[in-house]
Amino acid sequence: MLLKNIQQLLQIRPAGQAWVAGAAMAELPALDDAYLLTEGDRIAAFGPMSECPQDYAGEVTDCRGRLVLPAWCDSHSHLVYAGDRASEWLDRLRGLSYAEIAARGGGILHSAQLLNATSEDELYAQSRVRLARVLAQGTGALEIKSGYGLTVAGELKMLRVIRRLAAEYPVAIRATFLGAHALPAAYAQDKTAYLRMLTEELLPQIAAEGLADYVDIFCEKNYFDVADTERVLAAGQRFGLAGKIHVNQFTALGGVAAGVAYGARSVDHLEVLEAEDLAALRGSTTMPVALPGCSFFLGIPYTPARRIIDAGLPLALATDYNPGSSPSGNMNFVVSLACTQMKLLPNEAINAATLNGAYAMGLEAELGSITVGKRANLLLTRPVPSLAALPYAFGESSVERVLLSGRWYLC
């Protein structure tokens, strides 16, 4: 496949660059009037139009007026779920808080009830509709979590559905085991027994079947504390699974430092951020991840992304696509929110939504930048005057076509 006359080819990086941090996030290396050649599912070459191959025999696409970027890398989602929680959202509109809804047995436990009553085939059928939609919106790599089963059967069902999605769709998928998402009613009086079930019964089975790449826990008041987090991260390590944790959404308990100490790949949410959390992240290999769709939908503070970047740290952006706090998997909207609400510059937001997102799910050698040898997962915009037009036109998708594994994705 040959893409020619590309108005601007963006996010060109050398092989081996893992992430972009601090002031460098304001730069997005680009080439005007460019071509890009793919071979099989890989990026084979790119350069100025003056060097474009003349006698190419394969499919040629004229990209005049259009931008080409790496497809979005969404490193945090709960895209596999059953039904929805629109009724709880209506309750929130009438004045109840997310915490009040959870306290009366709603929230994550409500989703778990729905999921356990749904067959694996039906769960797959519901999830693939969401996946097809986010791919059409430009997502080319995606992490998906379990965490709405909260039983052995339910968690395995979710992870098997994730595996099936990964096999059926031309997108890179990473699976995360989030058994410690909430304490199910059956264990309400015995959190230790639940954690023992997760780490001693479920985790070995998940590892044996190769069903997960990461382990996660919701480190939060009324959910799981720092000691629980350390326990789950340590258990993950025993089975070769690094952590990607939910932390500092409503309260800072010290989970960020614990995540860093256990070599977590990412620490996600961070709507509440203390100086100690920033200090813990400095010099680490852990990626901070902001989820502005969740702040938008719940009406909670946005992650102080400027503080993170201005401290010289990297930042990734993800959707948190889930039925309770962010029922949208649209990365275009996330990039726009990051600019309008968190004051990121478009270049910073795009670095956060591509290469840094790829790093946050361990896919930085494979995706997230225009690099020869990486997987050809790209998005082609509509004709736009400049890159800023993408986040500027909030609520719209400027994505015209998506190339996944070297082929146009037809939705």
Write out the binding residues for Fe(3+).
76, 78, 246, 320
Distances (CA, A) of 67 to 71, 379, 383: 12, 8, 8
CA distance 111 to 82: 7
**Based on CB atoms, which residue is closest to ligand NIG, 13 or 76?**
76
**Distant-in-sequence, close-in-space partners of 345: CB < 8 Å, separation ≥ 6:** 26, 339
Among positions 320, 333, 347, 390, the unique one binding ligand NIG when judged by CB under 6 A:
320
Burial class (CB in 10 A: 0-12, 13-18, 19+), 26: middle
Rule CB under 6 A: is residue 322 a binding residue for ligand NIG? yes
Answer for the pair 390, 335: CB distance below 8 angstroms, yes or no.
yes
Residue closer to Fe ion, measured from CB, 2 or 88: 88
Task: Kindly list the distances between the CA atom of residue 25 and the CA atoms of 19, 96, 195, 306, 307, in Å, as whole numbers in the listed order.
Answer: 9, 39, 39, 11, 13
With binding defined as CB under 6 A, does residue 294 bind ligand NIG? yes
The C-alpha angle with vertex 319 and arms to 316 and 320, in degrees rounded to 5, equals 105
Range in contact with ligand NIG (rule: CB under 6 A) among 118-126, 226-234, 321-329, 396-404? 321-329
Q: Which helix (H) or strand (E) holds 112?
A: helix 108-116
Q: What is the CA radius of gyration of the chain?
A: 21
| Residue 200 Cα to chain centre, angstroms | 28
Residues belonging to the binding site are 76, 78, 85, 148, 181, 246, 249, 320, 322, 324-325
Contact segment (CB under 6 A) with ligand NIG among 22-30, 118-126, 164-172, 318-326 equals: 318-326
Among 113, 229, 319, 325, binds ligand NIG (CB under 6 A): 325
- Taking alpha carbons only, the member of 269, 279, 331, 332 closest to residue 305 is 269
Residue numbers 109-168 binding ligand NIG by CB under 6 A: 111
Q: Which residue from 146, 249, 303, 332 is in contact with ligand NIG, where contact means CB under 6 A?
A: 249
d(CA 7, CA 97): 47
370 binds, among ligand NIG, Fe ion, none (CB under 5 to 8 A by kind): none
249 binds, among ligand NIG, Fe ion, none (CB under 5 to 8 A by kind): ligand NIG
Q: Tell me which stretch binds ligand NIG (CB under 6 A): 124-132, 206-214, 320-328, 401-409.
A: 320-328
Give 352 or 404: the residue with its C-beta nearer to ligand NIG: 352
Q: Which two tokens stand for residue 97?
A: 């808080």
The annotation places the binding site for Zn(2+) at 76, 78, 246, 320
Check: CB of residue 282 under 8 Å from CB of residue 276.
no
Q: Quote the CA–CA distance of 335 and 330 in Å, as a whole number.
A: 9
User: Which residue positions form the known binding site for N-formimidoyl-L-glutamate?
Assistant: 148, 322, 324
Query: For residue 319, what are its two tokens?
Result: 């959707």
- Verify binding: residue 323, ligand NIG, rule CB under 6 A: yes
- Whether 402 contacts 408, CB under 8 Å: yes
Tell me if 108 contacts ligand NIG by CB under 6 A. Answer: yes
Q: Residue 62, class by beta-carbon neighbours within 10 Å (0-12 exposed, 13-18 middle, 19+ buried)?
A: exposed
Which among Fe ion, ligand NIG, none contacts residue 294 (Cβ within 5 to 8 A by kind)? ligand NIG
Binding site for Fe ion (CB under 5 A): 320
Minimum Å gap between C-beta 175 and ligand NIG is 16
Return the number of the residue (228 or 381) whose C-beta is nearest ligand NIG. Answer: 228
The residue from 130, 246, 265, 375 that contacts ligand NIG (CB under 6 A) is 246
Of the pair 108, 309, the CB lying nearest ligand NIG is at: 108
106 versus 138: smaller Cβ distance to ligand NIG = 106
- Interface residues with ligand NIG (CB under 6 A) are 107-108, 111, 218, 246, 249, 294, 320, 322-325
